[in-house]
Structure 1
């Protein structure tokens, strides 16, 4: 089988500690590479005085990584700028937070060209190339310009915004046209894919063919809806590990008989943490007879700390958590534990198993793998209840969760009450259905579904126009 070349913004080398720094996507990509062999290429996360294109190669736990350092200006304009101050808020429907600066766009294009220059010599003729996420929309086009005739796929891990929102992006047409250098584009849900098609039809006069190919003139690309999963068996095994059991006992002891509600999210406005806190506060005031029987543990490791928007959300949450505890805490009870650090995955597995409720309420999310990890970690004999935002991509696959509108404090409050009072029989029934889906459509299912589509494309399509330099 041909090698898989995965290209993403950041590369996280696997390690035996199940580091909390590894997100769900990083774990999924590592699993995919172990199965297929190949290289994972991207930014090291480190800064250099001058970009040289020098590659650092490492091999850890069966995964070969190739990383490069970026200059300070690259990081400011490409990563902190265009990726996280322009594209991220816009694609999560926060047009009010999106910043449009030419310098950001120029840095984004420059870094994609540098990535293409650096990774091109690593790609062998039979390799399949898989580019990940919004940081690298133009990378496929840049690889084509450098003579890469391999099959190249692209997967978007965030939502695709409605046409009216995307039209606010300067030169949106030009940016989206670069995606037609790919052979296959993947989305987590049919909704995100249809939003992409709507923009291409209305703004670019694209035509959708019966076989799922989107065509503009002589350019074409195959579109697929393909929701990512987790390594369900591996995560369930983590929940049975010694460290997870130790964490489980620690959480049960500290709960002193109270029910634990857990939220685990990167500190980001798209995760709906402020709205979640307000929903929990509404529960405390609406159901006073139950309030001292529960507590909320919110784990929110900081991210993108240099971006002002993220500094503001951290300050807001610190103030709100203090307000809630100040108004509701008693001598022997604190209703909200707010923790700004990450934890290893085996520790999180133990926390998930100890939690009566998993509270996953993003305002908008491409998928959300925390919901799937929570389900995978549960005790089959006494599972907890998943409360999930209807605006997460995962909601389409996880209909047996309690689906809520995260903007409604009342809905979140009522769902918490319903979950706390749910019978064991109903909890088991809901969990079994959720677990079956998590097991069936796992990370390897996702990998196979997408790469099968990609490998089915001819190496050089007759319909592809030459890409001009």
Structure 2
């Protein structure tokens, strides 16, 4: 069995006394521990102004895994990370052409860092290593490694959406991006729609074709392109939620709510998550269904994100203003309709809050998958499950057939769905929840990891069998 080399923008180097970074990190590190592995990427630290370019990665060994990290300069972070990655690729791939900002300086920095990563990673690679690269920050990495003689099997997984051609071609260097993807042996997307978008682009631009076995020939290279929907540690998360009665924060929250129904939303502060539209829908719900005033409370947990990007700071002000307006309009002496928490809440407490909630609001304007939706389902009490209200534009909508689908741009429609979810009878809630739980239990994060690596290491591997389930309203 070959060694696994994982490359990502940030590397979750284990710290003694702290829990693992999350289910994805657990799955990847588990695969590396089983076969020997290396995890390479940015350390999260910046270099002193006069330090010059790093000459080697810093290595740390832990439980059979080597963590190799590289410090970056402020200039590299500005151009590669804050610039091209998060002010061009992130908004564009989330269909926000209005927020894209393309500069040749940022593009040059993006390639400069990918070239640096390839140069510092190459000495760590053995001839039979399988290399798995993650996400939009590192699309050119395989091409950079190929250019210096690396012949290893390489796979790439995109955790965010892959947009249709009419959006992708807004990117001035779109042809180079797709050519870079063709340098991999396996390209994984979250949903079949992403694969369709890729195929449509290849066909329109006349740069390749799909073969009868499902693989693609793109720019003369044969590439397997498939949907591998990422999962969670379903059973582990369910067990944590079931034990949450002992969590002090969960107990205090329940006591403060009394007999009111809890509606919960958990999102990083990002314009792709539809938080402002969701809060407006809750406001409309209170206007149209006054009988629910005082009988439910909406808890929105939203840790800050990318505060250095102006669009995020503006959105933070907008969301805080909306929350204040709702509470100013509807609050009573003994009831606050919206609790807006602008900080991180621990995983165990979140699991307990999901389990206690009657409604989970997961309404992004666009999302590659959205694991909050799967965590909410996993956390539910089988005898009294809550209702998942899910955006049809989240990748999870192609799998979670028991969710109430909503259009986050339709504020009135989402308000109506909140009322329907709160009024839903127990038997219907059980029916909807059980099909979703069975799904995410079978296709968990371990399945995702295993199916991708099977394809990467076996050129003739069959496509993953997760398939697509159309969610119902």
TM-score with structure 2 length normalisation? 0.93
Q: Which runs of 5+ in 1 are unaligned?
A: 459-469
Q: Give the direction of change, closer, same or farther, for the CA distance of 1:63–1:390 in structure 2 (3 Å limit).
A: farther
The residue number in structure 1 matching 2:5 is 5
- For residues 152 and 261 of structure 2, the distance between their equivalents in structure 1, rounded to whole angstroms, comes to 53
Is 2:450 aligned against 1:448?
Answer: yes
Superposition pairs of residues 22-421 of structure 1, within 5 angstroms: 22=21, 25-49=24-48, 50-60=52-62, 63-241=65-243, 245-421=247-423
Q: Give the direction of change, closer, same or farther, for the CA distance of 1:377–1:34 in structure 2 (3 Å limit).
A: farther
- For residues 159 and 40 of structure 1, the distance between their equivalents in structure 2, rounded to whole angstroms, comes to 24
How far residue 249 of structure 1 moved from its aligned partner, in angstroms, is 2.0
Q: Alpha-carbon deviations, 1:321-345, whole Å to 9, x = none?
A: 1111111111111111111111221
| Number of residue pairs aligned between Structure 1 and Structure 2 | 456
The residue number in structure 2 matching 1:465 is none
Q: Alpha-carbon deviations, 1:376-423, whole Å to 9, x = none?
A: 111111111111111000001001111111111122111111111111
- Greater CA drift, 406-415 or 241-250: 241-250
Secondary structure of the 1:96 match is helix
The residue number in structure 2 matching 1:429 is 431
Q: Alpha-carbon deviations, 1:292-330, whole Å to 9, x = none?
A: 111111111111110111111111111111111111111
Is 2:440 aligned against 1:438?
Answer: yes
- For residues 329 and 6 of structure 2, the distance between their equivalents in structure 1, rounded to whole angstroms, comes to 49
Q: Give the direction of change, closer, same or farther, for the CA distance of 1:332–1:27 in structure 2 (3 Å limit).
A: farther
Q: Give the direction of change, closer, same or farther, for the CA distance of 1:97–1:237 in structure 2 (3 Å limit).
A: same
- For residues 317 and 387 of structure 1, the distance between their equivalents in structure 2, rounded to whole angstroms, comes to 20
Secondary structure of the 1:197 match is helix
- For residues 437 and 134 of structure 1, the distance between their equivalents in structure 2, rounded to whole angstroms, comes to 27
- For residues 419 and 178 of structure 2, the distance between their equivalents in structure 1, rounded to whole angstroms, comes to 44
Secondary structure of the 1:93 match is coil
Q: Give the direction of change, closer, same or farther, for the CA distance of 1:274–1:244 in structure 2 (3 Å limit).
A: farther
Check the 8 A contact 1:153/1:454 in 2, yes or no: yes
- For residues 168 and 316 of structure 1, the distance between their equivalents in structure 2, rounded to whole angstroms, comes to 28
- Greater CA drift, 216-225 or 353-362: 216-225
- For residues 257 and 391 of structure 2, the distance between their equivalents in structure 1, rounded to whole angstroms, comes to 26
- For residues 116 and 161 of structure 1, the distance between their equivalents in structure 2, rounded to whole angstroms, comes to 27
Q: Give the direction of change, closer, same or farther, for the CA distance of 1:186–1:13 in structure 2 (3 Å limit).
A: same
Secondary structure of the 1:391 match is coil
Q: Give the direction of change, closer, same or farther, for the CA distance of 1:437–1:147 in structure 2 (3 Å limit).
A: same
How far residue 218 of structure 1 moved from its aligned partner, in angstroms, is 2.5
Secondary structure of the 1:372 match is helix
How far residue 205 of structure 1 moved from its aligned partner, in angstroms, is 2.9
- Greater CA drift, 85-94 or 414-423: 414-423
- For residues 290 and 189 of structure 1, the distance between their equivalents in structure 2, rounded to whole angstroms, comes to 37
- For residues 454 and 30 of structure 2, the distance between their equivalents in structure 1, rounded to whole angstroms, comes to 17
Check the 8 A contact 1:11/1:26 in 2, yes or no: no
Q: Which runs of 5+ in 2 are unaligned?
A: 461-473
Q: Give the direction of change, closer, same or farther, for the CA distance of 1:244–1:299 in structure 2 (3 Å limit).
A: farther
Q: Give the direction of change, closer, same or farther, for the CA distance of 1:265–1:130 in structure 2 (3 Å limit).
A: same
Check the 8 A contact 1:325/1:335 in 2, yes or no: yes
Secondary structure of the 1:257 match is coil
Q: Give the direction of change, closer, same or farther, for the CA distance of 1:393–1:315 in structure 2 (3 Å limit).
A: same
Cα RMSD over matched residues?
Answer: 1.8
TM-score with structure 1 length normalisation? 0.93
More contact order relative to length (CA 8 Å, sep ≥ 6): 1
- For residues 81 and 275 of structure 1, the distance between their equivalents in structure 2, rounded to whole angstroms, comes to 26
How far residue 30 of structure 1 moved from its aligned partner, in angstroms, is 3.6
- For residues 410 and 34 of structure 1, the distance between their equivalents in structure 2, rounded to whole angstroms, comes to 50
